[in-house]
């Protein structure tokens, strides 16, 4: 018979807890020091004026107040980011889906083709950003030269505020390799017999896609949707390099690439306003949480999990 | 048994890795000689090889004249990098900025050190520096910078293009300048520019990010009232200046102008510079173009530099000038401030000043240097130097939010000239934003 | 793992209205049709694939041209002369006349390798240990702590960014010289686990049969023994994935180095590449050459270990 200890834990249970904690000690310590404490600290900073040099000075809701009522650049950052989410996320999902379909075709040499489609996703952001700038140079870039050769209009791309974000969306569509992989795995999981049954019912290719493929891969769609959306809200690296092209400020041209994190970074590290930037970080956190929850909640309508009753 | 062989292999691999990385890491740590001189790091904003290289050469010449302090000079150091170092507690010791709009904000926030005590202790004579350079080095009555050279701006023009258009002499008034610019602007059958008379917003990063404040000065506008507490960026003359450049850009077409100048920023210091290749006729820019033209323009390139134009109804504004320059600051948190100041004193003496002035063709900031026989006799350069000493030279407002001010002007100028808002609206926004920030600073928020 | 299914070629690609279930698909009736179909598929997949790979090819081609030729139209697809000197110029940029090991580029590469290497070590150690706790140790509170792990995956990094920066600043680890302190902020966090990889490894560990644990237990091994003798050796594929993805992350990282490194001798490749873009000059051909050098290890790794890359993504993706 095992002796019951005061805490309601047997000796072996206590031993196991210690072992468990010991093994994940690195994570727990890291969580306390690099996650929990910083979260509390940044929440505190958001109510202060803090430049990293002098101690933080409490100013109450001033940062938030300024953000919501006075800061034009904040509004610009929000709207730019919203554009990328609304336009960029569906575009990327679609591109990933189409490329996954293409990669699912049964032909020889697929390994080679696969590397073409997937490689861009793993390339470092700095060369990729420079390459894109180079190719989309409004005067001499290969893209505009090719467009001109076939008589199509040649947008200014990264010097034209109306075309800079579309140019960026194209870049992100080019680097959706990881999303494609997830879709590809999901596609390959769709049971054969469903397609056969649909064909028996007289469904053509497109209807089979809509009624079999899309629902069956909807969990992957949900996963991809959330991941890409979160990543888009936190867009920084590529935009930083692309928009900092020798002109004075990041976020050029004319602030069209001034995304949320770019503005946050500028506030923190160019203007040394850590309190203000912390407030922005928390607002972003809430925005992301909000949309993720909405997506998750709404997903019950359209996500189909194998094994659930319809 | 499997166990021990895996253990053995794992063990050996681990040791190998550890050894490899230790070796790499040790090799990467900088070595220090025994009894080393005090090490200080100084940064210069100049990034290109000619100017940046000259800075490094001249800064490190300090190592030759004494051995107690060793200077490592870096070029192409940006403002963000400097501030990051300051806030991290690990700054470079001395920084020479290419813009004058940072110093007041840095002084107000304590990122740059007050130099008065150092000056007093060392007996350095601050009066060897000309007033226009002292103006952008002072805040609240204290000296925060020992400036390294000064900039002044004139109308630089391409003589060949002027001759081809039949323009005999450079424009004197702002109206003439626009008329000439229009004459010098050519488009092809598709409406694409083949030649541009003037690009008002180009190369603004040579100054504080934008030339707008220079234009405002040309029109007699003041950005701040004399008390320094009220922002007047939307004054009548200020709006006039912005309207002046906006009208021209609208006439050319902002999209077309952007397209034509899209690569210009990256090719300023190169033979492909738009002015040197006869694609651009006029720029309002600084005396360092003398050096650029010597280095990169074709042999026999003909150019001129003329006084800044003035509105025809304000002849009293003729000869107005703006002083830019290179404030040299001792950053807060420097580990060796005394030694850093000694270095700054050295750079502030005639020898290095003249050498650097000749190397990058900037205006010397010392009286003695201005009189020095070693100063480059190039007539263009000398015209600039003369102009810099005119009586009507001002500099960018010295207020605690000066850097924000420069940024706002740049941003809203861009919006206005692209037709997104009227000049009055744009400048109203700048005024209210900076006034708010100024008030917030004054009240300690 | 999932079985691979490929939808039948004929029914998917032919938009047929009705098809009797057991009718012979059209392609099999006419062999030449099958050939045409295969060619068509190759053209489609390969054509779009070429569009995808074109920018990389363009980058390489641009790196072999001079600045003057780089923008000419029509572009010569096959250059008639190769300016390989771009590579040596890019390598020695900023420090002409340097030897192989003293060139800036070499230094940046070495720095990037050091950071990535330490990160791989730290991540492997900390994440495998933590994953073991969740996969094999039966302890009260395990579920709760695992939930914490998952929740950190959802946390946007800007929220913790600034205080972490301040922590490192107070430890005098920002902009400092020297490996230990200068790279502290970029290396130390790796030794404290990463939710993503903990999750991945935990899923993998759970697929290892428990009988093997018991065999080790009989030999007198405690949890640590089971971990080192049973779990780790059998987890090579998963560990390889973690190592690969960590290396990749660090090779390409821009944000961390940008914030924490001020001393150019400690710069990584991502930062070093920005030097090609001066405020007033822009050497495209050199930049493209440097970019090619920068991405080359990734490309090589990708070609060799494509499967591992893919496995890495699917391992974390589908179970999420």
Taking the C-alpha atoms of residue C268 and residue B166, their distance in angstroms, rounded to an integer, is 54
- CATH code (residue A177): 1.10.3720.10
Clarify whether residues A139 and A202 are in a common domain: yes
Percent pLDDT > 90 in chain B is 71
Taking the C-alpha atoms of residue A95 and residue B205, their distance in angstroms, rounded to an integer, is 39
Contact of C140 with chain A, judged by CB distance below 8 Å, is answered with yes
Among the partner residues B7, B89, B266, nearest to C281 by beta-carbon distance: B266
* Chain C hits for A139, Cβ within 8 Å: 71
pLDDT over 70 at B12, yes or no: no
* Chain A hits for C57, Cβ within 8 Å: none
Contact of A36 with chain C, judged by CB distance below 8 Å, is answered with no
User: What residue in B sits closest to C168 (Cα-Cα)?
Assistant: B88
Clarify whether residues A27 and A95 are in a common domain: no
pLDDT in tens, A289-309: 999 999 989 888 888 776 554
Clarify whether residues A297 and A176 are in a common domain: yes
Clarify whether residues B301 and B427 are in a common domain: yes
Contact of C133 with chain A, judged by CB distance below 8 Å, is answered with yes
> Inter-chain contact C262–B90, Cβ cutoff 8 Å?
yes
DSSP alpha helix (H) spans, A85-236? 89-103, 110-122, 125-135, 142-149, 164-174, 177-189, 192-200, 205-208, 214-216, 218-233
Fold of domain C104-275? MetI-like fold (1.10.3720)
> Inter-chain contact A115–C129, Cβ cutoff 8 Å?
no
Percent pLDDT > 90 in chain C is 22
CB within 8 A of B364, min separation 6: which ones? B149, B150, B353, B354, B357, B370, B372, B375, B385
State how many domains chain A has: 2
Q: Which of B142-146, B362-366, C6-10, C221-225 has the lowest mean pLDDT?
A: C6-10
Q: B with C: how many residue pairs have Cβ under 8 Å apart?
A: 81
pLDDT over 90 at B445, yes or no: no
Taking the C-alpha atoms of residue A57 and residue A38, their distance in angstroms, rounded to an integer, is 18
Taking the C-alpha atoms of residue A263 and residue A248, their distance in angstroms, rounded to an integer, is 14
CB within 8 A of C212, min separation 6: which ones? C230, C234
- pLDDT, position B13: 58
Q: Which of B58-62, B121-125, B187-191 has the lowest mean pLDDT?
A: B187-191
- pLDDT, position A309: 45
Q: Which of A23-27, B100-104, B235-239, C61-65 has the lowest mean pLDDT?
A: C61-65
Clarify whether residues A153 and A26 are in a common domain: no
pLDDT over 90 at B340, yes or no: yes
Contact B208, A248 (CB under 8 A): no
> What torsion, rounded to 10 degrees, do the Cα atoms C262, C268, C270, C273 define?
80
Clarify whether residues A13 and A160 are in a common domain: no
> What torsion, rounded to 10 degrees, do the Cα atoms B394, B398, B401, B403 define?
50
> Inter-chain contact A26–C138, Cβ cutoff 8 Å?
no
Please tell me which residue, A120 or C78, carries the higher pLDDT value: A120
- pLDDT, position A82: 96
Clarify whether residues B413 and B275 are in a common domain: yes
Clarify whether residues A160 and A261 are in a common domain: yes
Contact of A53 with chain C, judged by CB distance below 8 Å, is answered with no
Taking the C-alpha atoms of residue B411 and residue A247, their distance in angstroms, rounded to an integer, is 11
The answer as to whether B8 is a domain residue is: no
User: What residue in A sits closest to B203 (Cα-Cα)?
Assistant: A247
> Inter-chain contact B265–C172, Cβ cutoff 8 Å?
no
Residue B388: name the closest of B147, B154, B152 by CA: B152
Quick one: average pLDDT of B402-416?
A: 91
Clarify whether residues B224 and B304 are in a common domain: yes
pLDDT in tens, C120-153: 999 999 999 999 999 888 888 888 999 999 888 8
Residue B146: name the closest of B331, B329, B364, B394 by CA: B329
Taking the C-alpha atoms of residue A170 and residue B328, their distance in angstroms, rounded to an integer, is 44
Chain A nearest C-alpha distance from C191 (Å): 7
Quick one: average pLDDT of B421-441?
A: 93
Quick one: average pLDDT of A202-207?
A: 82
The answer as to whether A90 is a domain residue is: yes
The answer as to whether A61 is a domain residue is: no
* Chain C hits for B265, Cβ within 8 Å: 279-280
Clarify whether residues A21 and A120 are in a common domain: no
- Work out the pLDDT band at C311, boundaries 50, 70, 90: confident
* Backbone phi and psi for residue B158, each to the nearest 5 degrees, phi listed first: -90, 115
Burial status of residue B249 (CB atoms within 10 A of its CB: 0-12, 13-18, 19 or more): buried
- Work out the pLDDT band at B40, boundaries 50, 70, 90: very high
Neighbours of chain A (3+ CB pairs under 8 A): B, C
Domain of residue A132: give its range. Answer: 71-302
pLDDT over 60 at A245, yes or no: no
Residue A116: name the closest of C42, C49, C308, C304 by CA: C49
The answer as to whether B431 is a domain residue is: yes
> What torsion, rounded to 10 degrees, do the Cα atoms A263, A267, A268, A273 define?
-150
The answer as to whether B279 is a domain residue is: yes
Quick one: average pLDDT of B223-241?
A: 93
Chain C nearest C-alpha distance from B30 (Å): 7
Contact of A8 with chain B, judged by CB distance below 8 Å, is answered with no
> Inter-chain contact B90–C259, Cβ cutoff 8 Å?
no
DSSP class of B48: S
Neighbours of chain C (3+ CB pairs under 8 A): A, B
Among the partner residues A246, A254, A270, nearest to B266 by beta-carbon distance: A246
The answer as to whether B2 is a domain residue is: no
Neighbours of chain B (3+ CB pairs under 8 A): A, C
Helix (H) or strand (E) holding A299: helix A274-302
Contact of A3 with chain B, judged by CB distance below 8 Å, is answered with no
* Residue ranges per structural domain of chain C: 28-88, 104-275
- pLDDT, position C272: 86
User: What residue in C sits closest to B98 (Cα-Cα)?
Assistant: C279
Please tell me which residue, B302 or B34, carries the higher pLDDT value: B302
Contact of B236 with chain A, judged by CB distance below 8 Å, is answered with no
Please tell me which residue, B442 or C246, carries the higher pLDDT value: C246
Contact of A199 with chain B, judged by CB distance below 8 Å, is answered with no
Clarify whether residues A143 and A209 are in a common domain: yes
The answer as to whether A54 is a domain residue is: no
Residues of B near C (Cβ–Cβ under 8 Å) read: 3, 6-7, 10, 17, 21, 24-25, 28-30, 47-48, 74, 76, 81, 84-85, 87-92, 205, 263, 265-270
Residue B360: name the closest of B59, B136, B52, B44 by CA: B52
Largest CA distance in chain A: 88
SS3 assignment, position C249 = helix
Among the partner residues B24, B74, B76, nearest to C110 by beta-carbon distance: B24
Clarify whether residues A134 and A220 are in a common domain: yes
- Work out the pLDDT band at C116, boundaries 50, 70, 90: very high
- Average pLDDT over all residues of chain B: 89
- pLDDT, position B90: 83
Quick one: average pLDDT of A259-267?
A: 91
pLDDT in tens, A2-39: 555 566 678 888 888 888 889 989 999 999 999 999 99
pLDDT over 70 at B20, yes or no: no
pTM of the model: 0.85
Among the partner residues B80, B204, B210, nearest to A269 by beta-carbon distance: B80
Quick one: average pLDDT of C201-220?
A: 85
Clarify whether residues A259 and A147 are in a common domain: yes
Which of A248, A258, A264, A276 to probe the B interface (max B CBs under 10 A)? A248
Which of A7, A15, A20 to probe the C interface (max C CBs under 10 A)? A20
The answer as to whether A26 is a domain residue is: yes
The answer as to whether B344 is a domain residue is: yes
Clarify whether residues A18 and A86 are in a common domain: no
* Chain B hits for C180, Cβ within 8 Å: 25
Among the partner residues A62, A156, A249, nearest to B258 by beta-carbon distance: A156
* Chain B hits for C172, Cβ within 8 Å: 89-90
Please tell me which residue, B140 or C67, carries the higher pLDDT value: B140
Q: A with B: how many residue pairs have Cβ under 8 Å apart?
A: 79
- pLDDT, position B21: 56
The answer as to whether B20 is a domain residue is: no
Contacting A residues, span 189-208, partner chain C, CB-CB under 8 Å: 189-192, 195-196, 199-200, 202, 204-206, 208
State how many domains chain B has: 2
Domain of residue B377: give its range. Answer: 38-149+326-390
- pLDDT, position C15: 37
pLDDT over 50 at B355, yes or no: yes
- Average pLDDT over all residues of chain C: 81
- ipTM of this predicted structure: 0.84
Last-in-domain residue among B367, B390, B413: B390
The answer as to whether A292 is a domain residue is: yes
The answer as to whether B32 is a domain residue is: no
Burial status of residue B126 (CB atoms within 10 A of its CB: 0-12, 13-18, 19 or more): middle
pLDDT over 70 at C1, yes or no: no
Quick one: average pLDDT of B205-223?
A: 93
Quick one: average pLDDT of B146-157?
A: 94
> Inter-chain contact A288–C13, Cβ cutoff 8 Å?
no
Quick one: average pLDDT of B417-441?
A: 93
* Chain A hits for B86, Cβ within 8 Å: 53, 272
Clarify whether residues A116 and A259 are in a common domain: yes
Among the partner residues C140, C269, C287, nearest to A130 by beta-carbon distance: C287
* Chain B hits for C117, Cβ within 8 Å: 17, 21
Which position has the token pair 């700095």?
A: A126
- Work out the pLDDT band at C19, boundaries 50, 70, 90: very low
* Chain A hits for C284, Cβ within 8 Å: 134
Percent pLDDT > 70 in chain A is 93
- CATH code (residue B127): 3.40.190.10
Please tell me which residue, B69 or C283, carries the higher pLDDT value: B69
- Work out the pLDDT band at B293, boundaries 50, 70, 90: very high
> Inter-chain contact B269–C281, Cβ cutoff 8 Å?
yes
Helix axes C306-317, C236-252, angle to 10 degrees: 100
Please tell me which residue, B243 or A108, carries the higher pLDDT value: B243
pLDDT over 60 at C8, yes or no: no
């Amino acid at each position: 018979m095992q002796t019951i200890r005061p805490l309601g834990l047997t000796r072996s249970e206590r031993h196991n807890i210690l072992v468990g904690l010991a093994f994940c000690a690195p994570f727990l310590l890291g969580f306390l020091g690099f996650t929990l404490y910083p979260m509390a600290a940044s929440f505190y900073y958001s109510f202060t004026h803090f430049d990293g040099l002098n101690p933080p000075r409490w100013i109450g809701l001033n940062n938030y107040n300024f953000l919501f009522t006075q800061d034009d650049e904040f509004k610009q950052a929000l709207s730019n980011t919203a554009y990328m989410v609304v336009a960029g996320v569906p575009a990327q999902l679609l591109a990933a889906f189409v490329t996954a379909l293409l990669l699912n075709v049964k032909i020889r040499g697929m390994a080679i083709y696969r590397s073409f489609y997937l490689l861009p996703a793993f390339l470092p952001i700095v060369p990729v950003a420079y390459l894109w700038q180079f190719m989309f140079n409004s005067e001499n870039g290969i893209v505009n030269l090719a467009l001109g050769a076939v008589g199509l209009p040649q947008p200014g791309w990264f010097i034209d505020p109306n075309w800079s974000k579309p140019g960026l969306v194209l870049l992100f569509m080019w680097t959706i390799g990881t999303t494609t992989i997830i879709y590809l795995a999901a596609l390959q999981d769709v049971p054969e017999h469903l397609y056969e049954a649909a064909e028996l019912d007289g469904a053509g290719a497109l209807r089979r896609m809509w009624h079999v493929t899309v629902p069956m891969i909807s969990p992957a769609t949900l996963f991809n949707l959330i991941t890409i959306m979160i990543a888009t809200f936190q867009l920084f690296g590529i935009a930083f390099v692309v928009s900092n092209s020798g002109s004075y400020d990041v976020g050029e041209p004319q602030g069209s690439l001034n995304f949320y994190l770019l503005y946050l970074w500028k506030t923190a590290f160019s203007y040394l306003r850590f309190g203000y930037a912390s407030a922005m970080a928390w607002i972003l956190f809430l925005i992301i949480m909000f949309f993720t929850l909405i997506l998750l909640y709404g997903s019950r309508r359209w996500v189909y999990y194998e094994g659930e009753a319809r | 048994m499997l166990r021990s062989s895996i253990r053995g292999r794992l063990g050996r691999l681990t040791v190998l890795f550890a050894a490899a990385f230790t070796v790499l890491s040790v090799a990467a740590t900088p070595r220090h000689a025994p009894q080393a001189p005090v090490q200080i790091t100084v940064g210069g904003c100049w990034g290109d090889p000619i100017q940046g290289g000259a800075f490094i050469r001249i800064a490190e010449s300090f190592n030759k004249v004494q051995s107690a302090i060793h200077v490592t000079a870096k070029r192409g150091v940006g403002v963000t990098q400097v501030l990051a170092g300051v806030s991290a507690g690990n700054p470079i010791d001395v920084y020479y900025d290419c813009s004058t709009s940072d110093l007041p904000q840095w002084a107000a926030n304590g990122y740059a050190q007050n130099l008065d005590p150092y000056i007093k202790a060392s007996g350095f004579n601050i009066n060897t520096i000309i007033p226009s350079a002292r103006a952008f080095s002072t805040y609240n009555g204290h000296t925060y910078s020992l400036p390294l050279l000064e900039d002044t701006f004139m109308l630089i023009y391409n003589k060949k293009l002027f001759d081809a258009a039949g323009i005999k002499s450079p424009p004197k008034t702002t109206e003439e300048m626009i008329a000439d610019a229009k004459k010098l602007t050519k488009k092809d059958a598709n409406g694409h520019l083949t030649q541009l008379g003037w690009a008002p917003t180009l190369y603004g990063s040579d100054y504080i990010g934008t030339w707008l404040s220079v234009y405002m000065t040309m029109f007699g506008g003041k950005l701040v009232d004399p008390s320094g507490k009220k922002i007047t960026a939307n004054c009548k003359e200020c709006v006039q200046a912005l309207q002046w450049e906006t009208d021209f850009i609208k006439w050319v077409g902002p999209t077309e102008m952007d397209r034509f100048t899209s690569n210009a920023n990256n090719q300023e210091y190169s033979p492909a510079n738009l002015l040197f290749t006869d694609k651009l006729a006029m720029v309002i820019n600084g005396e360092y173009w003398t050096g650029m033209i010597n280095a990169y323009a074709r042999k026999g390139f003909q150019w001129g530099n003329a006084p800044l134009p003035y509105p025809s109804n304000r002849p009293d504004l003729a000869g107005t000038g703006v002083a830019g320059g290179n404030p040299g600051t001792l950053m807060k948190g420097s580990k060796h401030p005394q030694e850093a100041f000694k270095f700054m004193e050295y750079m502030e003496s005639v020898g290095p000043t003249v050498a650097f002035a000749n190397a990058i063709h900037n205006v010397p900031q010392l009286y003695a240097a201005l009189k020095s026989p070693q100063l480059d006799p190039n007539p263009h350069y000398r015209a600039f130097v003369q102009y810099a000493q005119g009586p009507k030279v001002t500099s960018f407002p010295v207020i605690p939010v000066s850097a924000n001010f420069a940024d706002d002007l740049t941003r809203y100028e861009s919006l206005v000239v692209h037709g997104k808002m009227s000049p009055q609206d744009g400048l109203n926004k700048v005024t209210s934003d900076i006034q708010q920030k100024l008030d917030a600073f004054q009240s300690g928020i | 793992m999932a079985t691979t299914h490929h939808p039948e070629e004929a029914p998917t690609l032919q938009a047929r209205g009705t098809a009797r279930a057991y009718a012979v698909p059209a392609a099999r009736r006419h062999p030449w049709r099958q050939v045409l179909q295969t060619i068509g598929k190759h053209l489609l997949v390969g054509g779009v694939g070429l569009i995808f790979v074109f920018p990389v090819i363009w980058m390489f081609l641009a790196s072999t041209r001079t600045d003057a030729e780089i923008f000419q139209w029509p572009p010569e697809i096959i250059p008639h002369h190769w300016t390989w000197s771009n590579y040596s110029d890019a390598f020695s940029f900023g420090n002409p006349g340097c030897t192989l090991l003293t060139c800036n580029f070499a230094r940046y590469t070495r720095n990037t390798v050091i950071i990535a290497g330490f990160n791989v070590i730290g991540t492997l150690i900390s994440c495998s240990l933590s994953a073991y706790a969740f996969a094999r140790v039966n302890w009260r509170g395990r579920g709760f702590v695992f939930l914490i792990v998952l929740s950190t995956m959802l946390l946007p990094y800007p929220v913790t960014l600034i205080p972490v920066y301040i922590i490192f600043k107070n430890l005098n680890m920002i902009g400092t010289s020297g490996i230990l302190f200068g790279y502290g902020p970029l290396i130390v966090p790796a030794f404290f686990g990463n939710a993503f990889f903990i999750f991945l490894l935990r899923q993998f560990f759970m697929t290892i049969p428990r009988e093997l644990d018991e065999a080790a237990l009989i030999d007198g091994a405690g949890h640590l023994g089971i971990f080192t003798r049973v779990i780790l050796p059998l987890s090579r594929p998963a560990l390889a994935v973690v190592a690969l993805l960590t290396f990749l992350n660090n090779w390409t990282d821009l944000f961390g180095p940008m914030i924490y490194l001020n001393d150019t001798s400690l710069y990584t490749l991502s930062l070093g590449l920005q030097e090609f873009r001066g405020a007033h000059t822009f050497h495209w051909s050199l930049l493209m050459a440097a970019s090619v050098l920068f991405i080359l290890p990734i490309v090589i790794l990708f070609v060799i270990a494509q499967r591992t890359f893919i496995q890495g993504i699917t391992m974390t993706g589908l179970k999420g």
